Chain A
Amino acid sequence: MPKIHVIHESGEPDQTVEFSAADAPFSHDGEPGSILDVLLGHKVHLEHACGGKCACTTCHVIVKEGEGNLSEMQDNEMDRLDTAPGLTMHSRLGCQAVPKGDVTIVIPKFNVNS
């Protein structure tokens, strides 16, 4: 089963969630099986001011490992990321990126859009 390893830039302890993609959705928000959906369904907090509808960037995460295990980025995610503070070459939106294998992500301290 794929695992999402979460590093909190805020200094909270790391967390790891193991899940079966076949069980998605795990919550009410984000693409089914997305990082946001999986984390919310396993009680790991990730901001999502727009309810996971790709209308903001508060679920911005930075992928440390396993980028190739994520679904391909679509136009709507690219359009939103254009407006994200702290954008990196490895940025994704948790509500859109669907893991197909293990990934390690960082939740930045600034994951609110301004």
Chain B
Amino acid sequence: MPPERYGAVVERIRAWTPSTRSLFLRPDAGARMPFHAGQFISLALPVGESPPLVRPYSLASDPEDALLEICVDLVPAGIGSRYLFSLAVGATLDLKGPFGSFMVDAPPAAAMVFVADGTGIAPVRAMVRRVLAHGGEHRVQVLHGAPTEADLLFHDELAAFGSHPRFSWEPVLAGAGAATGENPKLEALVLDRYVRADADRTRHFWICAVGDLVRRLREALRAAGYERRAVRYEQW
């Protein structure tokens, strides 16, 4: 799927919290962008010292959804996110995609562990929907970090997947005021459960968050004996 350029219209906005929202984008002229669940698009924003400012956003939507959904965190000093927060329904955007290799290319014959913090849940939500729709016998676990319960994007949907016999979803709350990308509880839980608790090293991981948490988890899991290619990650 080579990346292509698209114009798109903001068709809907969902405010999750005062500083996090989903934008639902409809590519122009009914175009449909083929992509794999978990990939990202690249927005070309008309801001910055030498526009366009290029900013990537993981797709939370499924490839079969009519609209592309991205989750945007408002970063006070971030000119890109401030611009996206200024957009109203009907605004237009230039984008290119899909990009990236953070995906479930072939479900492994092993347990799948998704670790996400904050808006890092966006590509995980897309991948989990796909994985559960296609059957299989191995466990699918999601560890979902956020400061508070109110910050858990897709809370209801992921909780409802809990009725699926091989799926579990576990919120890991860092506490009100926790900085983006910092969730010591999530980090400790991953290491306790998947490194210290047993010697099973067959699991596959998908890790997505903002900041250095991703690198630390990746390095710890690989150093503990998990296969390099079984620890996939997207660090925003």
Contacts and interface: CB of A to CB of B under 8 A. Distances in A.
A114 B1 CA distance: 6
15 contacts: A29-B54, A49-B42, A49-B96, A50-B40, A50-B56, A51-B55, A53-B56, A53-B236, A55-B40, A55-B235, A75-B222, A76-B215, A76-B218, A79-B233, A83-B101
A61 B53 CA distance: 21
A112 B2 contact: yes
A-B pairs with the 5 shortest C-beta distances?
A: A49-B42, A50-B56, A114-B2, A83-B101, A56-B99
A64 interface: no
Contacts of A75: 218-219, 222
B34 to A, nearest CB: 12
Interface in B125-141: none
Contacts, number: 62
Contacts of A50: 40, 42, 56, 99-100
Given A28-B48, A83-B101, A51 B3 contact: no
B14 to A, nearest CB: 23
B31 to A, nearest CB: 18
A113 B49 CA distance: 26
Interface of B: 1-3, 40, 42, 48-50, 53-56, 79, 96-97, 99-102, 215, 218-219, 222, 228, 233-236
Contacts of B235: 53-55, 76
Interface residues of A, number: 22
A43 B49 CA distance: 11
B100 A56 contact: yes
Contacts of A55: 40, 56, 99-100, 102, 234-236
A28 B53 contact: yes
Contacts of B222: 75
Given A49-B3, A50-B42, A76-B235, A113 B99 contact: yes
Contact of B3 (A40, A53, A80, A112): A112
B232 to A, nearest CB: 8
Contacts of B101: 80, 83, 113
Nearest to A47: B54
Nearest to B79: A28
B30 to A, nearest CB: 24
A40 B99 contact: no
A96 interface: no
A48 interface: yes
Contacts of B97: 49
Contacts of A28: 48-49, 53, 79
A75 B233 CA distance: 12
A34 interface: no
Contacts of B48: 28
Interface string A18-53: 000000000111000000000010010000111101
